[in-house]
């Protein structure tokens, strides 16, 4: 695999496993990372060097962040303990393992705690898949903030580091869907010393060794992938330059500043810009600013106090933030919060394939901690026979959090590493029957894909490598994945290898060989796929390919299924109420579903997650995919509960409960011709007994004990009686 970095060789990151191991390596490897003092005593530990606090149950499996990070630190020689799902009502549970010698590492878990606990309609979920027996309410709202505050309360002088997807998505001021307001960065609320965002292995390992060497955490300001609080206007050195991008639509200064919106890097020497007429016809000669060194340039985003009240500045900040996401050319960012700044160093450099292999080679037990006994943990049951083969996604879908967290550069493991893990599953995981449930990642078929020119990759500022078209520089060869599939199913003891991760079908259609291999050997009857919509407006705001790409993939899928003698089906996923979607768009999608005989059981309504581009559209009614100004393009946005419910109802046009709402909407839209009892109609004119909104309300009231159940008549009426 190519080295994916724009850095000069002299500035390449230190290899992840080249550090001298910490002295505590003498204690060896723990069977499970300890969760109690008794386990620490059995290991001969008097203290932990690092204590990880997590909102998930502790499962010693590489698909769970606390296990992956814990085992990585253990491999560096550190003693790592875990406090899992502590009672956050007091600080006492956070003292269970004593004071950590180096730091507390705080994470909400594999999922954002708000997404985990609430539906897209802001209703509390009845189950938590990351908790034994799916028990709900085992983690607080905004768990990173609560856990970090309790750690600080338990041991005031101890370093507190926050990370995971919840912290990553809240590293700057962000719109919070659940409170319907812009909240400040998670850093000041959590009172943490440092925030690690994205894939944090490099920063975490370097940080642990530097703290162990006695360096104060307040002086560690140079690690990529970190964020921290500093005094207003602080700069790392005298050679640094601040580029102000805190306003839009303001008169330009006499010196042209570098454009923070530029989609390509600045090229060429400093030169005179053309003369520009000023007010009153006077000609003013502008001087072009010399090219700035991106490594010593920081961009000032609009302050929290600005974006919380000004949607246009929020959209501008969102666009600027996302354009600084390529680790090859990203500049540092800074955002004022009151009298202090939140400083974000550029994103972490991706791991190499040997580094990825070593991370996944840790001695995982591949099962939950023994303290859970026979309790079932749904998230574990789902992934215990699955393997993560890569990280990242260059799709850039605006509603997705993968880009903000894992980045656009694909980091892949080697064939040998993956095949070895299959053998580990076969030999170690209880209940293995020979079926690998998934060989995938954030996207199933981006394995080993990369820009064909490292220099172009390092300078690129596109938000997606596949939208509006697949970049001609993006390598889309599926041959390495086909080879992996063939070797995986040839492993002794393996009966079938399934692919359950989301598939990027616009890439897949470029390789008929891949689609044939997938359909012939790796589909278990159904393949989930996500066209998300059929109409060009919503798809453009999602940065998703046209429905024509889905049609091409569907034709190939059905052709190869017939050739294999298999009856297999695609299960499409769609999103309701996404920004940029009109009622007419949802109607057209419903008609497409009906024409293709799709009756969806599970549908999703757009959920605005912090920092996503689609969330910026939802909150601001502006499109950050284009340059933002006071008079820039506005975005159709569905916000009120009734309209969100209507858009969801279009996806389930076949459900009688939705018919009254859809009939009202069709009449209001002037499409009453779609109401009737024929095949050409979307919803029938009649309403079956016991269905509809009124009946649903009465059923809910009876379930809550507020309304008596209807009595059956003493004697059934005779035929024909009224």
Element (H, E) at 391: strand 390-391
Higher pLDDT, 366 or 691: 366
Find the DSSP H helices in 96-226: 113-117, 143-154, 164-168, 186-190, 201-212
Q: Is the pLDDT of residue 262 over 80?
A: no
Cα Rg of the chain (Å, integer): 27
Q: What is the pLDDT of residues 575-590, one digit of tens each?
A: 999 999 999 999 999 9
Nearest in space to 632 (alpha carbons), one of 641, 618, 621: 621
* Percent over 90 (pLDDT), the chain: 84
Mean pLDDT of 258-280: 43
pLDDT at residue number 633: 87
How high does pLDDT run on average in the chain?
90
**How many angstroms separate the CA atoms of 350 and 359, rounded?**
13
pLDDT average, residue stretch 651-670: 97
Q: What's the CA gap between 64 and 381, in Å, rounded?
A: 13
**Residues 92/93/99/100 CA torsion (nearest 10 deg):** -150
Measured between its terminal Cα atoms, the distance across the chain in Å is 78
Q: Check residue 286 and give its pLDDT.
A: 41
Q: Tally the residues of the chain.
A: 722
If one compares 170 and 711, the residue with the highest pLDDT of the two is 170
Question: What domains are there in the chain, each with its CATH number?
Answer: 32-236+297-344 (3.40.50.2300)
Are the beta carbons of 135 and 128 closer than 8 angstroms?
A: yes
Average pLDDT over residues 145-155: 98
- Reply yes or no on whether the pLDDT at 704 is more than 70: no
Q: What is the dihedral of CA 686, 691, 697, 702, to 10 degrees?
A: 150
Residues 394/446, Cβ–Cβ less than 8 Å: yes
Under 8 Å between Cβ of 614 and 579: yes
pLDDT of residue 259: 52
Mean pLDDT, to the nearest integer, of 641-650? 96
Query: pLDDT at residue 277 above 50?
Result: no
Tell me what the mean pLDDT of segment 641-656 comes to: 96
Q: Which of 629, 677, 626, 669 is nearest to 650 (CA)?
A: 669
pTM as predicted = 0.89
In 596-640, which ranges are continuous DSSP H helix? 613-620
pLDDT of residue 550: 96
Edge to edge, what strands does the sheet with 80-84 contain? Answer: 80-84, 50-54, 103-107, 159-162, 194-196, 226-231, 340-344, 332-337, 297-301, 241-244
Among 375, 374, 371, 368, CA closest to 134: 375
**Chain-centre distance for alpha carbon 156:** 32
**Is the pLDDT reported for residue 698 higher than 60?**
no
User: What is the Cα 211 distance to its own chain's centre?
Assistant: 30
From CA 592, how far away is CA 595, in angstroms rounded?
5
For the cut 80, the answer to whether the pLDDT of residue 701 exceeds it is no
pLDDT tens-digit series, residues 311-358: 999 999 999 999 999 999 999 999 999 999 999 999 999 999 999 999
Which pLDDT band holds residue 12 (cuts at 50, 70, 90)? confident
The pLDDT confidence band at residue 300, using thresholds 50, 70 and 90, is very high
Which tens digits make up the pLDDT trace of 416-468? 999 999 999 999 898 999 999 999 999 999 999 999 999 999 999 999 999 99
Q: Are 228 and 194 in contact (CB under 8 A)?
A: yes
The band of 404, judged by pLDDT with boundaries at 50, 70 and 90, is: confident
Mean per-residue pLDDT, 204-223: 98
Say what the pLDDT of residue 287 is.
45
Band of pLDDT at residue 712, cut at 50, 70 and 90:
very low
Closest CA to 115 of 618, 605, 625: 605
Position 602 confidence tier, pLDDT thresholds 50, 70, 90? confident
* pLDDT of 270 above 80: no
Banded pLDDT at 601 (limits 50, 70, 90): confident
Segment 206-229 shows an average pLDDT of 98
């Amino acid at each position: 695999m190519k080295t994916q970095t724009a850095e000069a060789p002299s500035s390449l990151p230190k290899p992840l496993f080249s550090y001298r191991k910490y002295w505590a390596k003498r204690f060896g490897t723990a069977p499970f990372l300890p969760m109690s003092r008794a386990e620490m005593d059995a290991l001969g530990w008097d203290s932990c060097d690092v204590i990880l606090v997590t909102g998930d149950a502790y499962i010693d499996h590489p698909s769970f962040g606390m296990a992956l990070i814990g085992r990585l630190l253990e491999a560096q020689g550190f003693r790592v303990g875990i406090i899992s799902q502590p009672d956050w009502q007091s600080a006492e549970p956070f003292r269970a393992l004593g004071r950590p010698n180096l730091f507390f590492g705080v994470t909400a878990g594999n999922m954002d705690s708000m997404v985990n606990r609430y539906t897209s309609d802001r209703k509390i979920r009845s189950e938590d898949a990351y908790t034994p027996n799916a028990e709900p309410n085992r983690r607080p709202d905004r768990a990173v903030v609560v856990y970090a505050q309790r750690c600080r309360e338990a041991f005031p002088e101890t370093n507190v580091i926050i990370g995971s997807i919840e912290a990553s998505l809240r590293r700057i001021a962000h719109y919070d869907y659940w409170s319907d307001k812009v909240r400040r960065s998670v850093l000041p609320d959590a009172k943490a010393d440092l925030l690690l965002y994205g894939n944090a292995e490099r920063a975490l390992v370097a940080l642990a060794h530097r703290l162990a060497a006695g360096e104060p955490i307040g002086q560690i300001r140079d690690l990529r992938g970190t964020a921290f609080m500093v005094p207003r206007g602080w700069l790392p050195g005298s050679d640094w330059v601040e580029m102000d991008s805190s306003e839009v639509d303001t008169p330009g200064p006499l010196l042209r500043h570098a454009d923070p919106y530029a989609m390509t890097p600045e090229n060429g020497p400093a030169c005179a810009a053309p003369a520009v007429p000023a007010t009153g016809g006077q000609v003013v000669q502008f001087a072009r600013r010399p090219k700035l060194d991106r490594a010593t340039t920081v961009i000032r985003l609009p302050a929290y106090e600005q974006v919380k009240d000004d949607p246009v500045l929020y959209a501008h900040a969102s666009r600027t933030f996302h354009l600084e996401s390529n680790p090859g050319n990203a500049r540092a960012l800074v955002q004022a919060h009151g009298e202090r700044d939140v400083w974000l160093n550029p994103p972490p450099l991706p791991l190499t394939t040997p580094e990825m292999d070593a991370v996944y080679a840790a001695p995982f037990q591949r099962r939950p901690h023994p303290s859970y006994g026979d309790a079932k943990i749904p998230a574990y049951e789902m992934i215990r026979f699955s393997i993560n083969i890569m990280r990242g996604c260059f799709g850039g879908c605006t509603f997705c959090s993968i880009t903000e967290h894992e980045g656009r550069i694909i980091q892949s493991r080697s064939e040998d590493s993956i095949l070895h893990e299959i053998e580990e599953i076969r030999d170690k995981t209880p209940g293995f029957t020979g079926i690998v449930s998934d060989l995938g990642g954030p996207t199933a078929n981006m394995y080993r894909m990369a820009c064909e020119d490292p220099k172009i990759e390092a300078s690129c500022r596109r938000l997606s490598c596949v939208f509006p078209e697949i970049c001609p520089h993006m390598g889309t060869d599926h041959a390495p994945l086909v080879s992996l599939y063939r070797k995986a199913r040839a492993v002794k003891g393996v009966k079938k290898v399934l692919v359950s991760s989301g598939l990027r079908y616009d890439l897949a259609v470029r390789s008929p060989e891949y689609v044939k291999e997938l359909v012939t050997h790796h589909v278990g009857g159904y393949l989930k796929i996500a066209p998300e919509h059929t109409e060009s407006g919503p798809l453009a705001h999602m940065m998703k390919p046209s429905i024509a790409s889905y049609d091409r993939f569907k034709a190939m899928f059905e052709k190869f299924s017939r050739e294999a003698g298999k009856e297999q089906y695609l299960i499409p996923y769609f999103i309701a109420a996404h920004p940029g979607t009109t009622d007419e768009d949802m109607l057209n999608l419903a008609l497409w579903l009906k024409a293709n005989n799709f009756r969806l059981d599970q549908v999703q309504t757009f959920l605005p997650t912090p920092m996503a581009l689609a969330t910026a559209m939802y909150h601001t009614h502006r499109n950050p995919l284009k340059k933002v100004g006071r008079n820039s393009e506005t975005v159709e946005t569905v916000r009120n509960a009734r309209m969100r419910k209507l858009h969801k109802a279009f996806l389930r046009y076949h459900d009688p409960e939705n018919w009254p709402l859809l009939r009202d909407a069709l009449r209001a839209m002037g499409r009453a011709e779609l109401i009737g009892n024929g095949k050409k109609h979307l919803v029938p004119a009649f309403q079956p007994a016991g269905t509809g909104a009124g009946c649903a309300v009465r059923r809910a009231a009876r379930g809550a004990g507020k309304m008596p159940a209807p009595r059956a008549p003493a004697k059934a009426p005779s035929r024909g009686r009224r």
